[in-house]
Structure 1
């Protein structure tokens, strides 16, 4: 499989020094830049997907007229979170008693 090159990136010497100061053992500057580019592309893709889902949801809500007030949704989410935390506490206390 052929590999491709990214264009060279010009940075201030101080930026290069900052990056080099955080490289882990055995990591090269090229490895770091490649991983940073991959991570940035994944974040951008996730953001694009999130926006697309939001737009689709809005279009669906407009078509169906099925809308929910933000405070109702937040209350429901908070209730689910509290229930999950309570269930986790019960599991933790049950497993400690059985030990």
Structure 2
């Protein structure tokens, strides 16, 4: 398989210097850029999958009617938070 290049990116000299100052021992700027692009691609893929799962879940909940309203969940979480704060306040000298 042939390799391809990623287009070069023009940046301010100060930013390039900052990036170069963060390179690991023996790491090249090209390696840093490739690793950064790969990490961003992975993060966006995971984010897209997360959103897709959420939308499928929402659609299934709407289809079946089996869901809890957001206000109810927030109220339950607030009660748990209030209870935890009360417990913590009682244990403080």
Q: TM-score normalized by structure 2?
A: 0.74
Tell me if 1:57 matches 2:60.
no
The size of the alignment, in residue pairs, is 76
The 3 A distance-change label for structure 1 pair 73 and 28 is farther
State the Cα deviation string for residues 31-68 of structure 1 (Å, max 9, x = none).
00000000000111111001100100000000000012
User: How far did 1:2 drift?
Assistant: 1.5
CA distance in 2, matches of 1:65, 1:35: 44
Q: TM-score normalized by structure 1?
A: 0.70
Gaps of 5+ in 2: 81-93
Q: Which runs of 4+ in 1 moved over 3 A?
A: 71-75
RMSD of aligned Cα (Å): 1.8
The 3 A distance-change label for structure 1 pair 49 and 73 is farther
CA distance in 2, matches of 1:72, 1:39: 37
1:37 aligns to what?
37
Gaps of 5+ in 1: 79-99
1:20 aligns to what?
20
